Amino acid sequence: MKHPLRKLLSLSLAAVTAMSMSVTAFADEPYNPYNYDTWDDAIPSQAAYRVEKTITGSEMKLEKLRDPESGVYVSDDAPLVLNDARDLSVYEENKEMWVADSKNNRILRLDLDTLEVTGCFTGVHNSSRDGFAAPQGVFVTKSASLDEEVVYIADTDNSRVVKARITNSTMLTCVQEYFKPEEALYTAQTFNPKKICVDAAENVYAVVSSVNSGSVQFSRDGNFTGFYGANRVNVTAAVIAQRIWRMIASDEQLEGMQRNVPIEYANFDIDNDGFIFTVTEVDTDTDSVKKLNPAGYNIWNNAKGNNYKFGDLTSSQYDPLTKKSHTTRLTDIDISDDNFINVMDFETGRVFQYDKECNLVCIFGTKTSTSDQRGTIANPNAVESYGNRVYILDGSKNDITIFIETQFGKYVHSAFKLYDEGRYTDAKADWDQVVKRDGSYTYAYIGLGKAALNEERYNEALDYFETAYDQEDYDKAYKYAREAWLKDHFTLIIIVVVLLIALIIVRKWMKKKGIKIFKKKKKRLVSVGTGAAGISAQNFRKEEKPADDDDDEDDEEEGE
Amino acid sequence: MYEFTQMGWLKHVIFHPVEGFEDLRWKKQGSMKIAMVIVFLLFVDMVADRQLTGFQFNTAYVKVFNVVPLLVQSVVYFFTWVIANWALCTLFDGEGTLKKICIYSAYALVPYIVCSYISIFISNFIVEEEKVWMTAIYYLGLVWSVVLMIQAMKAVHQYTFKKTIVSMIFTIVAMLLILFLAILLLSLFQQVYVFGYSIYTEIAYRIRG
């Protein structure tokens, strides 16, 4: 008896294990896709990006750097992995991706499709110093004046920014160097550029650590031209309290006080139209993400009554994967070719993608969980996008994670693109597909509603806006819907109004004549004579005198 | 003079803010039943304001509907007002009885309730630009009710105008006090309950061994 029971037990146990294993083994994204609804509540959503692959040093074929035959030979002991790489830059014309491999003191050039190494640069010729020292930023663009590809490198520990042209796959030649400004306006002791950005006129903007009055701006010929786009001081209770204290404090006390300074921004990017987007680490209320015009003013200004929000909307977010609470720290920004804005949250490893009107498109990516799953990120240092892919550079796992848009992401992007161009009707098909995949995707309903509004199907538009809980657009649609309704029912309304007026006139006339139609009321009346139909003129006169107010009369009569 | 039905009296009081309540008092009129209906309508108004206001004006969080706060904001507040006023006016030499205060206060609320219903109704037919009409009606009702309430309190206690205002301000303070004490008491009882329950579980465990 014992044996068959044991067999049965072990068999069923095996079955259960097998089943539970098959449950855990299905391919899923390492992150929980979510989105925010109208009330800023986080709701689950579809994944708009999935992890395509992760690229480490061996996939980049960095061993080529040790191979004299390969053409990118550097030395026999060239490091075979990235080491705390800090920045990515994409040069689309030649399909290149540039990596600032910071601790290895080199800049790598990768092929954008295969991500294999095609160039390695450890220094710049014809410059003040040959080698790089912990370069933290790289920016590649086409120079209008030279009409060729130029590389800007924030050579952080060498306190310089270098502009260089590419001589061959292992050599850069210096075009211009940018050093610490000698002007009195520049008050910081050090000059350690971390990130750089260059506009169409080849002005160089550098984020310099411990400079909080904006990015340091250089003209093309290397002259310091000022600071650009400083953040404002975030007004908190502590700041206001200090303002008041400052008014009454003595000079000695003032010296000891901490100054309220704005927070320097962490990173920036430039879009195709020449607007510079900055991102600031702490402080998610004001200035967390800014779109600066050439004068340095923020176009997205919440002070003007708008409500632009970036990052996680709750100040502290509990992540069930890492079992920790996070506060958002936005460290990198990237503007894609289609004007989608990718904002990197260093704390959670999430990328928040916005369309050009700052509407949240999707959220993807996550930090390393305990299982260290592929596609999770330990130290997200940079985010860059090209085509339908988003690249995230990991400074501690020393790899690049590539996210590729899913079918859902494709529909969302296509819909948002058309929507932002104002082609609401064209976007309809895409929004329909989005709704099919994620029924709680708020923006799809707004898009569909606007399409319906454009096509003058007002009631449908109202339905959509109500679903999205978009009161502003609902209001607009309602205005049109009401107008249309009034137009359609104009004759009916006129008839009703005329009838009502007629009724009032007739009633007045009947009252004047003392004719009462409602017999019920007549019975309850006491002071008025019962034979109301054929009332004489004398009777009427008698009645009129005591009754000053019709209502009062009625009440009096009812009371009796 | 002034032979009205109960509803007639209500109408008289509302449209005669200066003399209405004095007349009501003089004639010893006012119905508790109507007062209770008014309080109920106030509660309904609260619910309607949340649920039936036109979509573009409705700022309520529609994911959750909890009737308890609305009940507290209407019915509980009203009776706290009545009790606080009564308690205070025994000290302030007021002549009003609890019943009278209740009736008169309820009568004074009618314009607010009616105007609020009207504004809820029209909010379904107007757009954002015309919102001013909605708010105008709402505030008309509010101001009217405040005026009536002052008159009601003045009449019910036979106060001077100044004393009425002072007593009303103190009533609001007393209301806060009452509500604070009520919350305190509630949490206290909750702790007593938790204490008793934990003793019960403790004993239950011991008995079970």
Provide the ipTM.
Answer: 0.82
Residue percentage of chain B with pLDDT more than 70: 100
Task: Please report the pLDDT score of residue A170 as a whole number.
Answer: 87
Q: Which residue of B has its CA nearest to A553?
A: B4
pLDDT of A26 above 50: no
3-state secondary structure A3-14: HHHHHHHHHHHH
Q: What number is the average pLDDT over the span A33-53? A: 88
Structure-token match 């989105």, residue found: A35
* Contacts of B189 by beta carbon, 8 Å cutoff, 6+ apart: none
d(CA A160, CA A140): 16
Instruction: Name the more confident of A503 and A371.
Output: A503
- Report strand pairing: A276-279 vs A289-292: antiparallel
Q: Which amino acid is at A136?
A: Q
Between CA B182 and CA B180 the distance in angstroms is 5
- What average pLDDT does range B160-178 have in this prediction? 94
Query: Does A558 contact B8 at a Cβ distance shorter than 8 Å?
Result: yes
Predicted confidence (pLDDT) at residue A441 exceeds the cutoff of 60? yes
- Please indicate if any CB of chain B lies within 8 Å of the CB of A324: no
Cβ within 8 Å, pair A482-B56:
no
- Express each pLDDT in A269-317 by its tens digit: 988 888 999 888 875 566 788 898 888 888 887 777 777 888 888 766 6
CATH 1.25.40.10 in chain A is located at 417-488
Q: DSSP assignment of A193-230, as one string?
A: EEEEEE-TT--EEEEETT--SSEEEE-TTS-EEEEE-P
Question: Are B62 and A469 inside 8 Å of each other by CB?
Answer: yes
Q: B55 vs A466: CB contact, 8 Å cut-off?
A: yes
Sequence letter at residue B127: V
CB A115 within 8 A of CB A55: yes
Q: How confident is the model at residue A528 (pLDDT cuts 50, 70, 90)?
A: very low
**Bigger pLDDT: B142 vs A539:** B142
Q: Find all residues with CB under 8 Å of A482, minimum gap 6, and list them.
A: B125, B127
Q: Which residues of B touch A469 (CB under 8 A)?
A: 62
Residue A264 · residue A210 · CB < 8 Å: yes
pLDDT at B74 over 90: yes
Supply A83's token pair. Answer: 């080491």
Q: Pick from B3, B55, B56: which is nearest to A556 by CB?
A: B3
Task: Return the SS3 of A257.
Answer: coil
Q: Does A560 touch chain B (CB under 8 A)?
A: yes
3-state SS, one letter per residue, for chain B: CCCCCHHHHHHHHHHCCCCHHHHHHHCCCCCHHHHHHHHHHHHHHHHHHHHCCCHHHCCCCCCCCCHHHHHHHHHHHHHHHHHHHHHHHHHCCCCCCHHHHHHHHHHHHHHHHHHHHHHHHHCCCCCHHHHHHHHHHHHHHHHHHHHHHHHHHHHHHCCCHHHHHHHHHHHHHHHHHHHHHHHHHHHHHHHHHHHHHHHHHHHHHHHHC
Kindly list the residues from chain B whose CB atom is less than 8 angstroms away from the CB atom of residue A556: 3-4, 8
H or E segment to which residue A511 belongs:
helix A490-513
* Residues shown for chain A: 560
Do the chains contact at B5 and A471, CB–CB below 8 Å? no
Domain ranges within chain B, ordered by starting residue: 6-208
Question: Residue B18 is encoded by which pair of tokens?
Answer: 């200066």
* Mutation site for A-interface testing, chosen from B55, B57, B123 by largest number of A Cβ within 10 Å: B55
CA B180 to chain A, closest CA, distance in angstroms equals 28
Kindly report, residue by residue over B77-123, the tens digit of the pLDDT.
999 999 999 999 888 888 889 999 999 999 999 999 999 999 999 99
The secondary element (H helix, E strand) that includes residue A483 is helix A471-488
The residue of chain A with its CA nearest to that of B129 is A475
Q: Which residue is closest to B61 within chain A, CA to CA? A: A39
What is residue A362's predicted lDDT score, i.e. its pLDDT?
A: 92
With beta carbons less than 8 A apart as the criterion, state whether A155 and A193 touch.
yes
Q: Which residue of B has its CA nearest to A477?
A: B127
Residue A535 has pLDDT above 50, yes or no: no
pTM for this model (two decimals): 0.79
Cβ–Cβ gap B4/A559 under 8 Å = yes
Looking at the DSSP assignment, which residues form a beta bridge with residue A149?
A142
Q: Band the pLDDT of A38: cuts 50, 70, 90.
A: confident
Q: What per-residue confidence (pLDDT) applies to B202?
A: 93
The pLDDT of A403-407, averaged and rounded, is 93
Residues of chain A positioned with their CB less than 8 A from the CB of B57? 471
Name every chain B residue with its beta carbon within 8 A of the beta carbon of A41.
Answer: 63
What pLDDT score was predicted for residue A512? 87
Q: How far away is chain B from the Cα of A184, in angstroms, using its nearest Cα?
A: 53
| Closest-approach residue (CA) in chain B for A479 | B127
Q: How large is the average pLDDT for residues A421-430?
A: 93
Cβ contact, residue pair B4, A471, below 8 Å: no
Cβ distance A555 to B127 less than 8 Å, yes or no, reads no
Residue A474 contacts B where some CB pair is shorter than 8 Å: yes
**Helices B161-208 and B77-91: crossing angle, nearest 10°?**
120
Q: Name the residue among A103, A92, A159, A97 with its Cα closest to residue A128.
A: A159
Looking at residue B28, its pLDDT comes to 87
Mutate to test the interface with A, among B5, B19, B53, B56 (most CBs of A within 10 A): B56
Segment A387-413 mean pLDDT: 92
Q: Which residue has the higher pLDDT, A387 or A262?
A: A387
CATH 1.25.40.10 fits A417-488, yes or no: yes
Calpha distance B35→B10 (Å, rounded): 10
C-alpha–C-alpha distance, residues A44 and A94, integer Å: 39
Chain B interface includes A471 (CB < 8 A)? yes
φ/ψ of A139, rounded to 5, equals -140, 125
**Choosing among A37, A459, A465, A479, which should be mutated to test the B contact, i.e. which has the most B CBs within 10 A?**
A479
Of the pLDDT bands very low, low, confident and very high (cuts 50, 70, 90), residue A247 is: confident
> Which of B5, B11, B63 minimises the CB distance to A39?
B63
CA dihedral A104, A106, A107, A113 (to 10 degrees): -50
Contact A87, A137 (CB under 8 A): yes
Sign of CA dihedral A182, A187, A189, A192: negative
More confident residue, A511 or A260: A511
Residue A18's pLDDT is what?
58
Residue pair A120/A170 in contact (Cβ under 8 Å)? The answer is: yes
DSSP H/E element including A559: helix A550-559
Mean pLDDT within A520-549: 44
Average pLDDT over residues A442-455: 94
What mean pLDDT comes out for the span A508-518? Answer: 80
> 């898009």: which residue's tokens?
A447
B128, A475: Cβ pair inside 8 Å? yes
Distance from CA of B1 to the nearest CA of A (A): 9
